[in-house]
């Protein structure tokens, strides 16, 4: 079968790499892909943007694509699955209505409240009804969120009421464009975050391996928020009893709530959770797709065919499926361009990729491009070096051996990815 992966980041390289290893897959196309997918055996890039749904549909038709897997949220929220299904093509991901769980944070909060799924208390405002007095009456810190898609930049944690009011006004007055026309003002939750990702088909669910990522740019989880500077799987924080609690208190009520609301959800469903000191899981947000960089370590550990799991979900056979996992831990370190997440340079030649390819582990590409046979940087997050090991500590060692082999001008990366898990192991 021929598979199409939509997107061009590290997540999509990992999905394409995984699908390409499967005996039932003859060829994998990635639109638009990156230098990593261009160089991967059995994988080919297609020069179509992830948001160009009509062109993707035309390509899938002409090429006889049996299964399309959508990486990023943009095309899902824009309705790529509805469009492919209407044309009789199989496309893995939630439809437009289901993707609103990610597309609108206000919608997601109302959904959580309606179905009594644990989440921070909140209120939503527009310019028309913004009430600074409500904010002044709340405990600090306060979390202000733009409702719509903001590429991971639309959340501000405020330490004072004045700051919270200013952040709210900024959003409502257009700092995040249309994404900030509605805002969510949320109670701050203390605890440790985990990424809990499942494959869902209506009421059927297959939980994937647990993971944790590091959102902040600097060591010690300090500095500005980013798309993610590293991730590992499994997350030792999610013990068997916490896992059972997440399934019973979050995932199952979410799927039954969707069904009760008349929404048929098929696809990856990612719950960003804050785990309290007593193990209570609270939902911070939903994503309607796989995480990046969580995908990279999780795909390193997945033994089952990903395409088989996606097809089982599309066919409503997910309840008869199990996923097999490598018992080892996987840990990915993101190598980013200097200056990221603010402004950074593109076009820097990357050295050491051949040497890294001879080492154990795997380097997934994100913001890279092939120019005249050379791999150069083309984005903020450039590579994700993933190691495997008997525990998170040894997976970390393998990942940093890969990192040490690679260089470019002004490369930056964290040196402590996995520190919480390693502290737990010690």
Ligand X SMILES: Nc1ncnc2c1ncn2[C@@H]1O[C@H](COP(=O)(O)OP(=O)(O)O)[C@@H](O)[C@H]1O
Residues forming the site for ligand X (CB under 6 A): 120, 143, 152, 154-155, 186-189, 193, 215, 272, 284-285
Instruction: Tell me the closest approach of the beta carbon of residue 293 to Mg ion, in angstroms.
Output: 13
Tokens 């749904």 sit at which residue?
A: 53
Handedness of CA 126, 250, 164, 217 (dihedral sign): negative
Residue 182 three-state SS: strand
Closer CB to Mg ion, 272 or 281, in the complex: 272
**Residue nearest ligand X by beta-carbon distance:** 285
Pick one of ligand X, Mg ion, none as the site partner of residue 215 (Cβ within 5 to 8 A by kind).
ligand X
Instruction: Tell me the closest approach of the beta carbon of residue 122 to ligand X, in angstroms.
Output: 8
Closer CB to ligand X, 188 or 419, in the complex: 188
Pick one of Mg ion, ligand X, none as the site partner of residue 181 (Cβ within 5 to 8 A by kind).
none
Pick one of ligand X, Mg ion, none as the site partner of residue 188 (Cβ within 5 to 8 A by kind).
ligand X
Burial of 127 (0-12, 13-18, 19+ CB in 10 A): middle
Contacts with Mg ion, 37-76, as mask; x by CB under 5 A: ----------------------------------------
Restricting to residues 253-292, name those near Mg ion by CB under 5 A. 272
Closer CB to ligand X, 157 or 264, in the complex: 157
**Angle subtended by helix axes 10-20 and 306-314, to nearest 10:** 100
Instruction: Tell me the closest approach of the beta carbon of residue 155 to ligand X, in angstroms.
Output: 4
Tell me the sheet residues that pair with 388: 330
Residue 109 three-state SS: helix
Closer CB to Mg ion, 84 or 270, in the complex: 270
Instruction: Tell me the closest approach of the beta carbon of residue 272 to ligand X, in angstroms.
Output: 5
Tokens 């098929």 sit at which residue?
A: 266
Instruction: Tell me the closest approach of the beta carbon of residue 113 to ligand X, in angstroms.
Output: 14
Pick one of Mg ion, ligand X, none as the site partner of residue 155 (Cβ within 5 to 8 A by kind).
ligand X
Closer CB to ligand X, 12 or 193, in the complex: 193
Pick one of ligand X, Mg ion, none as the site partner of residue 12 (Cβ within 5 to 8 A by kind).
none
Name which of 180, 169, 185 is nearest 147 in CA terms. 180
Pick one of ligand X, Mg ion, none as the site partner of residue 406 (Cβ within 5 to 8 A by kind).
none
Q: Which two tokens stand for residue 62?
A: 């002409």
Name which of 310, 373, 347, 321 is nearest 24 in CA terms. 310
Instruction: Tell me the closest approach of the beta carbon of residue 193 to ligand X, in angstroms.
Output: 6
Burial of 170 (0-12, 13-18, 19+ CB in 10 A): middle
- Peptide bond preceding 234 in cis form (omega within 30 of 0): yes
Closer CB to ligand X, 225 or 351, in the complex: 225
Alpha helix (H) ranges present in 358-418? 392-405
For 148-300, strand residue ranges (E) read 155-158, 182-187, 192-201, 204-207, 212-213, 216-218, 222-225, 230-233, 266-275, 281-287
Instruction: Tell me the closest approach of the beta carbon of residue 255 to ligand X, in angstroms.
Output: 20
Handedness of CA 61, 62, 66, 69 (dihedral sign): negative
227 binds Mg ion (CB under 5 A): no
Pick one of Mg ion, ligand X, none as the site partner of residue 143 (Cβ within 5 to 8 A by kind).
ligand X
Q: Under the rule (CB under 5 A), what is the footprint of Mg ion? A: 272
């Amino acid at each position: 079968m021929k598979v199409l992966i939509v997107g061009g980041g590290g997540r999509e390289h990992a999905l394409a790499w995984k699908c390409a290893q499967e005996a039932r897959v003859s060829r994998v196309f990635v639109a638009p892909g990156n230098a990593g997918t261009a160089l991967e055996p059995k994988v080919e890039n297609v020069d179509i943007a992830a948001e160009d749904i009509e062109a993707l549909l035309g390509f899938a038709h002409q090429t006889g694509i049996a299964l399309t897997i959508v990486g990023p949220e943009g095309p899902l929220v824009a309705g790529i699955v509805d469009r492919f299904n209407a044309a009789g093509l199989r496309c893995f991901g939630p439809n437009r209505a289901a993707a609103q769980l990610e597309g609108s944070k206000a919608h997601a909060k109302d959904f959580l409240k309606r179905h009594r799924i644990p989440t921070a208390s909140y209120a939503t405002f527009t310019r028309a009804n913004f009430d600074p007095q409500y904010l002044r009456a709340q405990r600090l810190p306060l979390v202000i969120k733009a409702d719509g898609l903001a590429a991971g930049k639309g959340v501000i944690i405020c330490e004072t009421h004045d700051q919270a009011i200013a952040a709210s006004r900024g959003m409502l007055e257009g700092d995040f464009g249309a994404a900030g026309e509605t805002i969510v003002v949320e109670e701050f939750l203390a605890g440790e975050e985990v990424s809990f990702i499942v494959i869902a088909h209506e009421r059927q669910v297959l939980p994937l391996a647990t993971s944790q990522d590091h959102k902040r740019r600097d060591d010690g989880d300090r500095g500005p928020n980013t798309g993610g500077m590293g991730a590992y799987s499994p997350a030792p924080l999610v013990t068997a009893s916490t896992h059972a609690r997440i399934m019973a208190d979050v995932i199952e009520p979410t799927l039954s709530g969707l069904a009760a609301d008349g929404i048929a959800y098929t696809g990856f469903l990612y719950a960003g959770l804050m785990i309290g000191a007593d193990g209570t899981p609270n939902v911070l947000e939903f994503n309607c797709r796989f995480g990046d960089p969580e995908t990279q370590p999780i795909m390193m550990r997945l033994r089952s065919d990903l395409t088989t799991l996606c097809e089982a979900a599309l066919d409503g056979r997910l309840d008869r499926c199990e996923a097999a996992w490598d018992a080892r831990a996987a840990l990915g370190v993101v190598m980013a361009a200097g200056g990221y997440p603010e402004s950074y340079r593109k076009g820097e030649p990357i050295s050491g990729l051949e040497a890294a390819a001879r080492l154990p582990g795997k380097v997934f590409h994100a913001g890279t491009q092939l120019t005249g046979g050379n791999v150069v940087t083309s984005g903020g997050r450039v590579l994700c070096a993933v190691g495997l090991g008997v525990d998170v500590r040894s997976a970390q060692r393998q990942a940093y051996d890969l990192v040490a082999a690679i260089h470019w001008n002004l490369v930056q990366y964290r040196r402590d990815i996995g520190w919480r898990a390693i502290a737990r192991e010690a």
